[in-house]
Amino acid sequence: MEKTILEKWYRKGWLKYGLKTFNALDRLTAGRIFYRDYITSRIFSVGVIDHERPAVDGGIFKNTVESKLAAKDKFLKAYKLVPLKYRPMVEKIVLENKDIDKIPNKTEKKTLCEALDFLVCYYAEKKNEL
C-alpha cells in the first residue's frame, strides 16, 4: 500500500506523461527527494543544543542552524526551478500530500509530470556534480 499521494499516482500509472527522456520511476524518485529536502529544510524544527551532551564530529557544519540553512537553500534552489504554473500542483500533491478532489484528467497528470521533470533534471545534475 502506498504511503503518499505521489506513490498512488505512480501505482496508477499517472506519472508517465512528461518528457520521454524520463520514466515514471524517475519522477517518483525526484518527488520523494524534493519532499525530503522540504522536510529537512524546515527551520522551525531546530531545537536547542544541549551543551552537556558530548559533541560528536560527524558533519561539515558547526551547528544545526547552519545545516538547516544549507538544507533550506538546497530546497529553495529546486523549488525555484519549478515554473510558477506548476507549483500549485507540486505543493498540493508532493509537499502537502493531498490529492485533488476528483479523478485527475490528462492535463492535470501532464502538469504534475512536467513539474517533476524539472526536478528530475535538477537532481540528476546535482548527482553528476558529486
* Each residue's pLDDT tens digit, 93-120: 999 999 988 888 999 999 999 999 999 9
Of residues 76 and 65, which shows the higher confidence score?
76
What mean pLDDT is reported for the chain? 84
Least confident range of 17-21, 117-121, 126-130: 126-130
Q: Which residue segment(s) compose the domain that 110 sits in?
A: 5-129
In sequence order, what E strands does the chain have? none
The total domain count for the chain is 1
> Alpha-carbon Rg of the chain, whole angstroms?
17
Q: Rounded distance, CA 118 to CA 98, Å?
A: 21
State the pLDDT at residue 68: 77
Alpha-carbon gap, residue 81 to 63, rounded angstroms: 28
Plot region of 21 (φ>0 → left; ψ -120 to 50 → alpha; else → beta): alpha
State the DSSP code for 80: H
Q: pTM for the whole thing? A: 0.80
